[in-house]
Amino acid sequence: MEGDTIFRAARTLNRALAGRTVTRFDSVFSRLTRIDEDERIPGRTIERVDARGKHLLIWFSGDLVLRTHMRMHGSWHIYRPGERWQRPRADMRIVIGTSDYEAVAFSVPVAELTSARELERAEPMRVLGADILAEQFDAAEVVRRIEAMRDVEIGDALLDQSAVAGIGNIFKSESLFAARVNPFTRVGELSRADMARIVDAARRLMRASAIQRPAGASVYGRAGRPCRRCGTIISRRKQGEHARITYWCARCQAVSPKPGSGGGGQTHGRAE
């Protein structure tokens, strides 16, 4: 799940729920229902719904925040009361009802209710890097945090949420293709300008996807098909300790030596 998907989900939930009073709260997570028993979520107003990195935050009046993380298979749906759910009841994790809509979280593996202060103080929020989709974005700080991971391959470093929050597998591949950088290059072999170009591409592509609509992929999911730019067959390989799949064009994203590192390796060929 990528930050742009969470961003769109948060926006949809915010439109349906912000300013409404909660009429019903239900969850299969006992740690949530226990807090609801003490703190009574029904009767509170939903102030807003927003996203930070891959975390979706629902803010209730009276300093209570519901943080959920979708991981791979979780999702939030919005229904009119009485409307038939599109996922089985057994997948339901959380229901937040209002007079006009009910929001249902399906298969969401991570959920906690907390105060704003605790949310900021605890992991994972405390260690979260800058949100790639945020209005205010400190690209130089993100580059510094990525730079610190010298021995990590750039395709893996982009997924580290403590360096930059919100990039997932799809936009990792897409932004490296856009920046013409090989995903298996170690961070220490990249120049600061390379990294700035990659971060810029990720932000540009993800904001376009979050604010407008998902664009067609250039490389992601296209293994075995021709590169849209040069016609070379797109490659696919597992990368990093979590074996996340990476897609790239071996020609457009040839390994290029850092300027001044004495050559070697393949040239940065550009074939039309």
- Least distance (Å) from Zn ion to the CB of residue 172? 17
- Least distance (Å) from Zn ion to the CB of residue 232? 5
User: Order of strands, edge to edge, in the sheet holding 92-97?
Assistant: 24-27, 92-97, 102-106, 75-79
End-to-end CA distance of the chain: 33
Provide the phi-psi class of 84: left if phi over 0, else alpha when psi is between -120 and 50, else beta: beta
Residue 70 binding Zn ion, by CB under 5 A: no
Residue 227 binding Zn ion, by CB under 5 A: yes
Q: Write down the H helix ranges in 21-149.
A: 30-39, 116-121, 139-147
Closer CB to Zn ion, residue 98 or residue 182? 182
Closer CB to Zn ion, residue 146 or residue 154? 154
- Least distance (Å) from Zn ion to the CB of residue 225? 11
Residue 179 binding Zn ion, by CB under 5 A: no
**Distance separating alpha carbons of residues 52 and 44, to the nearest angstrom:** 22
Segment contacting Zn ion (CB under 5 A): 27-35, 72-80, 223-231, 238-246?
A: 223-231
Number of residues located near Zn ion, criterion CB under 5 A: 7
**Distance separating alpha carbons of residues 154 and 28, to the nearest angstrom:** 39
**Tokens, residue 247:** 């897609």
Residue 252 binding Zn ion, by CB under 5 A: yes
- Which spans of this chain sit near Zn ion (rule: CB under 5 A)? 227, 229-230, 232, 249, 251-252
